[in-house]
Amino acid sequence: MSDAAALAELRLADSFLPIGTDSLSYGVEQFLATDRVTDADDLRALLESYLRNQFGPGDLVALRAAHARASENNLVAVMETDYRLAAVTLTAEFRESSTLAGERLLALQSDLRGDGLVEEYAELVDIGDAPGNHAVILGIVTEHEGISARDACLLACHGFVTGLLGAAQRLLRLGHTDVQRVLDDLHPAMIVAVEDSADRAPEEMTPFAPLVETLSSEHERADRRLFRS
Interacting residues toward another protein by CB under 8 A: 31, 36, 42, 45-46, 48-50, 52-54, 83-84, 86-93, 95, 206, 208-218, 220-221
**Alpha helices in the chain, H assignment, sequence order:** 3-13, 28-33, 40-49, 61-71, 75-88, 92-113, 116-126, 134-144, 149-171, 176-185, 187-198, 210-220
Q: Residues with Cβ < 8 Å from 44, sequence gap 6 or more?
A: 182, 185, 186
Question: 86 vs 135, which CB is nearer to another protein?
Answer: 86
- Do 135 and 60 meet the contact criterion of CB atoms below 8 Å apart? yes
User: Taking a C-beta distance cutoff of 8 angstroms, is the pair 51, 157 a contact?
Assistant: yes
Task: Report DSSP state, residue 91.
Answer: S
Nearer to another protein among residue 173 and residue 221 (C-beta): 221
CB of 11 to another protein, least distance (A): 30
Q: Which is nearer to another protein, 64 or 144 (CB)?
A: 64
Least Å distance, CB 54 to another protein, is 7
Beta carbon nearer to another protein, 4 or 87 = 87
CA 209 – CA 116 distance, rounded (Å): 36
**CB 53 → another protein: shortest distance, Å?**
6
Distance of closest approach, residue 226 Cβ to another protein, in angstroms: 19
Q: Which is nearer to another protein, 43 or 137 (CB)?
A: 43
Taking the complex as a whole, the smallest distance from the CB of residue 228 to another protein amounts, in Å, to 14
